[in-house]
Structures are given as structure tokens and as C-alpha cells.
């Protein structure tokens, strides 16, 4: 059933329990991670505004509307990453914005510029523009990716510790790494925006998880990037490849669990400057 909700462990409890009446906007609310973000925030007592592509797609949105607390504290807004101003209504009045909407692709796409890069970069800029126009937002939490830091072919020595100073300068359209390039360019664009406008009323935090695996909240995400990657890894390489995913190496990838990613984002809303 589209509205079936998978069990996801214990309920999230914020360190600051006074969340009643605080509005959080989640972009990409109907996405694989977005649904977990909405669920976690509702559990914590926040009022949530979710942006989706089509607010009239009732079957697709049934999962979100069925979440505990949703009837009272969840509102959905239509927004398009490529349309300036389309996030204005969802953002104005919110204290926090979690930007998780971004295109993903496991296979090589015919038009990476139009399919991946423009939506990621321009979408991030459009969301931040709406944030900067608002009179209420205090913090933006941007869901980035480890691929904006780590590029396939990095020649760092074993044991090298990546920091905020590291950027992926290996990925390009020429080597068919459009997704990694899109995440790198989107985060660079976000920091460039912050530097340019020098906001005094809001700040930004970027979380860069690895490949996100975990329970599906709705059947619509069986084709999600991480789900398909996991299936292909199992079918092609078996357990040996899974150990590489967790253990490192030139072709390794960090692994993050969906619930853990959502619960990492929620505390980032607290301890404002």
C-alpha cells in the first residue's frame, strides 16, 4: 500500500524539547530521505511544511499524510527547483529550512547538465534566495553528499582524514560523474551565495552523508539511487563488495542509514548562534 509506514526504531527526542509552534520547511518532502526528515520532525513536535512537485498527486503523498502528527502539523506546498520564487510561500514564516531536494541518478544520463546539474545548482540558489527574502528563517540545513568532498581517484595516503577544506576536484562530465559533480557544484554555489549576501539573520549548516540506505516509508522509492546501488552491488559482487563499501579503498563509499541521516539533521536545527 502506498500509505504503509515501515517501522524505523525508537522515536527521536530533541535535546531542546520546546518545539511546539516552530515551523520547519523541508524541500523534497516526498523523496527517499525527505519522508524520513518529515517523520522525524513530526515526532519531535515541530510543525512541518513540505515542498513537493505536485500537491494533487494524492496517491504519491498518502505516505506523508498518514504520518503520526501529519493531519495537525504538516502542510504541503508545490515548488519547482528551476522556478525562482516558487519556494517563497513555503519558506516565509518558517524558522528552519532543510533543503534535501536534489536530482539523483545511478546510470549515466543523456543530458546531465539539464537533468542533474542545473536542478541541483539553480535549485539550491532558488531556495537560498527565498530564505534570504524571508523575515523568519534562522538556519538552513543543506543535505549535501560525501561526493562533494571525496572524488574517485583521490590520491591521498591511507588514513587521510577529510575536512571542510577538501573538495572533490576529480568528478566531471567527461568521466561520467554527473551526480558527484552536481553535488559539488551545488554546495559550492551555496557557500558562494552565503558569502555574497553575508546574512545576519540566518546561517547555514551542510551535512554530507555517504550512500543512504534504510527502510522505505513508501513503495515509490524502490527505484531510489541508493536502493538501486545496493541491489546492483549485491547482484554483481556479493558480500565482498559490501565489505569494501564499509571498509574504504579507492572505490569505496561511506554508508549512512536513512533514519540516522534524518536524526542528524534535526539536532542541526538547535544551538543557533
Where residue 5 falls (left for φ over 0; alpha for ψ -120 to 50; beta otherwise) is beta
- Is residue 32 a contact partner of residue 38, using CB atoms and an 8 Å limit? no
Q: Which residues are catalytic?
A: 183
Beta bridge partners of 23: 47
What's the burial of 176, exposed, middle or buried (CB within 10 Å: 0-12/13-18/19+)? middle
Look up residue 244 and give its three cell numbers. Answer: 569494501
pLDDT for residue 224: 53
Domains of the chain: 23-210+257-269 (3.40.50.720)
Query: In angstroms, how far is CA 228 from the centroid of its own chain?
Result: 17
Q: Which residues pair with 212 in a beta bridge?
A: 256
Q: How far is residue 135 CA from its own chain's centroid?
A: 24
pLDDT the model gives residue 252: 44
- Tell whether pTM > 0.95: no
Q: How confident is the model at residue 242, as a pLDDT?
A: 46
pLDDT averaged per 10 residues in sequence order, the chain, 273 residues: 40 62 96 91 95 94 96 98 98 97 81 96 99 98 91 83 91 89 97 98 92 69 54 51 42 48 63 53
Q: Cα–Cα distances in Å, from 12 out to 33, 150, 183, 216?
A: 16, 30, 28, 17
> Per this entry, what is the length of the chain?
273
Residue 56, pLDDT score: 96
Amino acid at each position: 500500500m502506498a500509505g504503509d509506514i515501515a517501522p524505523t526504531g525508537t522515536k527521536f527526542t530533541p535535546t531542546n524539547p520546546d518545539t511546539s509552534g516552530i515551523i520547519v520547511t523541508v524541500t523534497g518532502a516526498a523523496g527517499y530521505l525527505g519522508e524520513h526528515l518529515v517523520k522525524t520532525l513530526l515526532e519531535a513536535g515541530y510543525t512541518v511544511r513540505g515542498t513537493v512537485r505536485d500537491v494533487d498527486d494524492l496517491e504519491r503523498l498518502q505516505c506523508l499524510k498518514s504520518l503520526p502528527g501529519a493531519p495537525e502539523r504538516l502542510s504541503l506546498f508545490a515548488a519547482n527547483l528551476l522556478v525562482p520564487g516558487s519556494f517563497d510561500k513555503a519558506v516565509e514564516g518558517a524558522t528552519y529550512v532543510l533543503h534535501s531536494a536534489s536530482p539523483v541518478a545511478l546510470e549515466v544520463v543523456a543530458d546531465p547538465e539539464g537533468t542533474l546539474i542545473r536542478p541541483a545548482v539553480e535549485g539550491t540558489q532558488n531556495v537560498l534566495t527565498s530564505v534570504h527574502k524571508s523575515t523568519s528563517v534562522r538556519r538552513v540545513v543543506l543535505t549535501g553528499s560525501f561526493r562533494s568532498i571525496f572524488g574517485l581517484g583521490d590520491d591521498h595516503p591511507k588514513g587521510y582524514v577529510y575536512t571542510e577544506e577538501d573538495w572533490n576536484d576529480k568528478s566531471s562530465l567527461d568521466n561520467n560523474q554527473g551526480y558527484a559533480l552536481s553535488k559539488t557544484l551545488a554546495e559550492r554555489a551555496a557557500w558562494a551565495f552565503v558569502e555574497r549576501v553575508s546574512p545576519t539573520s540566518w546561517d547555514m549548516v551542510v551535512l554530507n552523508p555517504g550512500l543512504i540506505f534504510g527502510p522505505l516509508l513508501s513503495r515509490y522509492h524502490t527505484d531510489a539511487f541508493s536502493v538501486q546501488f545496493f541491489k546492483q552491488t549485491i547482484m554483481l559482487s556479493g558480500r565482498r563488495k559490501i565489505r569494501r563499501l564499509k571498509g574504504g579503498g579507492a572505490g569505496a563509499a561511506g554508508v549512512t542509514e536513512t533514519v540516522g541521516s534524518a536524526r542528524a539533521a534535526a539536532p542541526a536545527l538547535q544551538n543557533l548562534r
